[in-house]
Amino acid sequence: MSTTPDLPTTDLEMRVAEAVAAIRQRTPLVPQVGLTLGSGLGGVVDAIPGATIFHTRDLPHWPASTVQGHAGRLAVGTWCGVPVAALSGRSHRYEDYTLDKVTFAVRVMHALGARTMIFTNAVGAIHPELKPADVMLATGHLNFIGKRGLFTPGELAERFAGRPVADLYSPALRALLLDAALQAGVKLHQGVLMGGHGPTYETASEVRMAARLGAHVACMSTVHEVTLAAHLGCEAASLSCITNKATGISATPLTHHEVTEVANEVAGKLRGVLEKYLAARA
């Protein structure tokens, strides 16, 4: 349970402000980059030397992380010369959270100062050329998780007035990450991310449908986070760890243990890419 009592407010801006105030009580650091780390990838948080670590359960209004492989920690510190905020333990729509809660961390990191957001995730391969332990940089996404409740009334009015960005996945940031991967000796595939509601894995029929729609990989997060980050004016990117072949492509049933096991193995690749990227912008 939170050590700070939840205040009786439904105002999203107020909730964000209260979480930011709790963080500011322990660190004045203004992060430039916000990192959200997916299943099995939370160990990257430990790479940030001298970071101020928060258990998200102790921050006001923060939704509890209930999924194995999502530890519920927020690190604020300097990594490779760049101030960052790194979240290990995102929340998911399938945990019965509304999207304003699922994307709460994005709003908090933005309010802390981050204007670059990099999301990592564990995914199942839909494209036949992708295999476990590969890493993919998203060029776009298919959102089957939804957008209802993602934006405030004011933000909805802005969106109705015109499209805020041409490409949710910043081409400039993608280019920098491709260069960083080259320096780190990590091959980055590129493709389209499909976000599904979960918590069950897609059926073979759904995977065939997704392939025909142009998806290369499938996950249960990220697409709404990127959508919000871009709307808030951030450069956004997604790095996917392929942990398995999707249902109907894989010859064996899928398990969450399989996902986290491969993600743990690939964490070193992602850490290498992120370190080269941060060092280049320091």
- Domain assignment present for residue 89? The answer is yes
More confident residue, 238 or 257: 238
36-58 pLDDT tens trace: 988 666 777 777 889 999 999 99
97-134 pLDDT tens trace: 899 999 999 999 999 999 999 999 989 999 999 999 99
- Domain assignment present for residue 11? The answer is no
- Domain assignment present for residue 75? The answer is yes
What pTM was estimated for this model as a whole?
Answer: 0.90
Question: How many domains, in total, are found in the chain?
Answer: 1
The verdict on whether 136 is a catalytic residue reads no
Catalytic residue among 22, 61, 75, 92: 92
The verdict on whether 39 is a catalytic residue reads yes
The verdict on whether 122 is a catalytic residue reads yes
pLDDT confidence of residue 251: 58
Catalytic residue among 55, 94, 155, 279: 94
pLDDT confidence of residue 254: 57
Given a cut of 70, whether residue 250 has pLDDT beyond it is no
Strand 116-125 with 73-79, pairing: unpaired
The verdict on whether 244 is a catalytic residue reads yes
Q: Which range marks the domain in which residue 125 is found?
A: 26-281
Catalytic residue among 61, 70, 110, 224: 70
For the chain, what is the mean pLDDT?
A: 88
Phi, psi of 87 (to 5 degrees): -105, 125
Contact present, 245 and 142 (Cβ < 8 Å): no
- Domain assignment present for residue 43? The answer is yes
Catalytic residue among 22, 86, 109, 122: 122
Render 241-279 in DSSP notation, one character per residue. Answer: EEEEEPBTTBSS---HHHHHHHHHHHHHHHHHHHHHHHH
Nearest to residue 102, comparing CAs of 174, 12, 204? 12
The verdict on whether 110 is a catalytic residue reads no
144-190 pLDDT tens trace: 998 888 998 888 888 877 767 779 999 999 999 999 999 999 999 99
- Domain assignment present for residue 270? The answer is yes
- Domain assignment present for residue 2? The answer is no
The verdict on whether 55 is a catalytic residue reads no
Question: Residue 141 is which amino acid?
Answer: H
Residue found under tokens 């101020």: 52
More confident residue, 49 or 276: 276
Phi, psi of 179 (to 5 degrees): -65, -40
For position 55, which CATH number holds? 3.40.50.1580
The verdict on whether 180 is a catalytic residue reads no
- Domain assignment present for residue 134? The answer is yes
- Domain assignment present for residue 17? The answer is no
